[in-house]
Amino acid sequence: MAQRPYVIDQMISAKSIAAQVETLAAAITQDFKDTDKLVVVGLLRGSFIFIADLVREIDLPIEVDFLEVSSYGDAMESSREVRILKDLRGAIEGRDVLIVEDIVDTGHTMVGVSAHIEQRNPARFRTAALLDKPSRREVDIKADYIGFEIPDEFVVGYGIDYAQRNRNLPYIGKVRFTDEVRS
C-alpha cells in the first residue's frame, strides 16, 4: 500500500518532552516510594523511547518488562481489537505495576491491557501515557499520569509511527497530508 505524501509539523519539542518526563517520573517516584520493586511495563512498540527516558528518571528500584499489543497495524485508525502479540516475561502477582503507553486515543488499548494486567493480580497498578487525546475517547478510561493532552491530530515521533516510519524523531510532530486541500 502506497503512503500518501505528507509533511510533519513539530507539535511538542524534544526539550518540552524531556521536562515533562522528569515531572512524571518525580510524581511516580513519590507515589510508589513505599514499594520494594516497581515493575514498569512498556507497550511496544510506540512507548519504547518514552519508557527508556522515564525509567532513567524514576528514583526507585524497578524492573522493566514489555507487552506488545496491536490495534492499529499500519492504519491511521484503531481496529478497536486489542491483540497481545508478546506477553510479559515475569510474574506480577502481588507486585506494583506501572503500564507505560505512548498515546491514549480511543482508549481501547488501555482498557484491554488493563484487563489483561488485572487478571494477573498485581498489588496495584497505574498507567502512564505520554500523550492523551480525550476528544477521541470511546471508552471511559484515563491514564493516571499524562504527559501532554493533545487535540485530535495524527502524530508521529518519539517512538510513535505512521506505517512504521518516523519513530526516530526526537519530538512529537503532526502529520499533514500534502494532498489535502486546506482553506
Residue 177 and residue 183: Cα distance in Å, rounded? 14
Residue 17 and residue 2: Cα distance in Å, rounded? 31
Q: Where do we find the cell 510532530?
A: 173
CA terminus-to-terminus distance, the chain: 28
Instruction: Look up residue 106 and give its three cell numbers.
Output: 480511543
Task: Give strand pairing partners of 39.
Answer: 63, 97
- Angle at alpha carbon of residue 127, lines to 118 and 42, rounded to 5°: 90
Active site residue 105: yes
Q: Is residue 79 within 8 Å of 73, Cβ to Cβ?
A: yes
Picking from 81, 109, 96, the residue whose alpha carbon sits closest to that of residue 34 is 96
Residue 10 and residue 134: Cα distance in Å, rounded? 20
Q: Is residue 110 within 8 Å of 104, Cβ to Cβ?
A: yes
Among the options 96, 105, 132, 161, which is catalytic? 105
Active site residues: 105
